[in-house]
Structure 1
């Protein structure tokens, strides 16, 4: 896994109805070190998903630079894996085939793909579901497949855009614990977009608060790992950090 650097990043859009430019992102600079886990929070419309889509290469930047391992991002690439709110699995492919789709597109042989599927499905506790199809899985299981599918392509940076927003609260907590366990084992470089302050503090090493397209604050999260909701739900340090980030978001 490699580092990610945003240098004076900006994004403007042209409003054809008003005939004016609208600035969505303004002069955002951020460094995400190798193996770090950074969550980005902020009110709706502050630019969280726009930044993630620019990092992914889906949206062209208007100014500044994005660097992955020192190389400038010019468009989408296998060095960045993306997990969306919707799992976006191929319904006609089995779980194992979904997980190994990226390696197959890169020319990885059948035997190695089978090994990759076995390794990553075991990592997510999904070995028993290898030959099932997405519509045979619960929403939580589908999202776990989406996470390990992105990891199986061995990206330098894992980008996650509110991946647990569409599941119920209990499943979401379980998925959050699963993600922290997977991160602790593999240490991918992660940028995680969320509206949920508690989720951001639970998952991340650092929380970045956005306001109107710029970075308002960064909050370090020195909570011990491994993390579980059973331990943290009544933890004073967790409560204080969550409240600090919440106040920043509200001020934004």
Structure 2
């Protein structure tokens, strides 16, 4: 079983304004098992995005080990897909070609790239938009394209950095439900960064709370699946677990 392991990971950098080294992350350890959905929350500046960028290979870590299936992470790679807050789609490419970009970079034939792209677009309810361009889509549709573009490359881990932060509340709830549906069908391993406690509890199997660059606590989420906002929003267990995580974030 493939897993992502962080063992005593730290990140130190020199702050020229303060004139000293700063510990952005210190002694962070946790494991994501294959097919698990884990969310990371914490106050601004606690190191959430820095941590994701190190796992993605965009930033080097200065201490500890980041291992994917036992192999050190030392740079970007196709086994780690990333979905950003900005849609980050190629505006000159159709939706079909955006989603098929990863398979194309792996050297697959055009017909196979298109087949894979159409499969994932249908999974996200976007089959009708295959020949459109990103500027012809709503923000919510663009972000769904961003999610399935990452999934179409069949990554071992999908890293998501506040991907729904830039859309309105109703669209955000719809995207959260869509993501849980796609996750249940395909079971990718997901690490999801968010400021929104309710979003984290709704989506995840576990929520990791960061505080000042360190893991404060992990909270197991035992809500049944599939999850839908119309049944969970007034659910006592959901409210209790959200309150537990929120209290931890506030204490951080």
TM-score by length of 2: 0.99
Deviation track 1:107-128 (CA, whole Å, cap 9, x = no partner) reads 0111111110111000100000
1:173 to 2:162 alignment:
no
d(CA) in 2 for partners of 1:103, 1:191: 22
Partner of 2:187: 187
1:217 to 2:221 alignment:
no
Do 2:97 and 2:114's aligned partners in 1 also have CA atoms closer than 8 Å?
no
Shift of 1:15: 1.4
Partner of 1:143: 143
Q: How does 1:21-36 map to 2 (within 5 A)?
A: 21-36=21-36
Which segment is superposed worse, 2-11 or 90-99? 2-11
Shift of 1:19: 2.6
Deviation track 1:213-236 (CA, whole Å, cap 9, x = no partner) reads 000000000100000000100100
**Unaligned segments of structure 2, at least 5 residues:** none
Which segment is superposed worse, 113-122 or 13-22? 13-22
Give structure 1 regions of 4+ aligned residues with deviation exceeding 3 angstroms. Answer: none
Partner of 1:37: 37
**Unaligned segments of structure 1, at least 5 residues:** none
Q: How does 1:122-133 map to 2 (within 5 A)?
A: 122-133=122-133
Partner of 1:243: 243
1:96 to 2:96 alignment:
yes
Q: How many residues are matched?
A: 252
Do 1:37 and 1:190's aligned partners in 2 also have CA atoms closer than 8 Å?
yes
Three-state SS of the structure 2 residue aligned to 1:96 is helix
Partner of 1:57: 57
- Kindly report the root-mean-square deviation, in angstroms, between the aligned alpha carbons of the 2 structures: 0.8
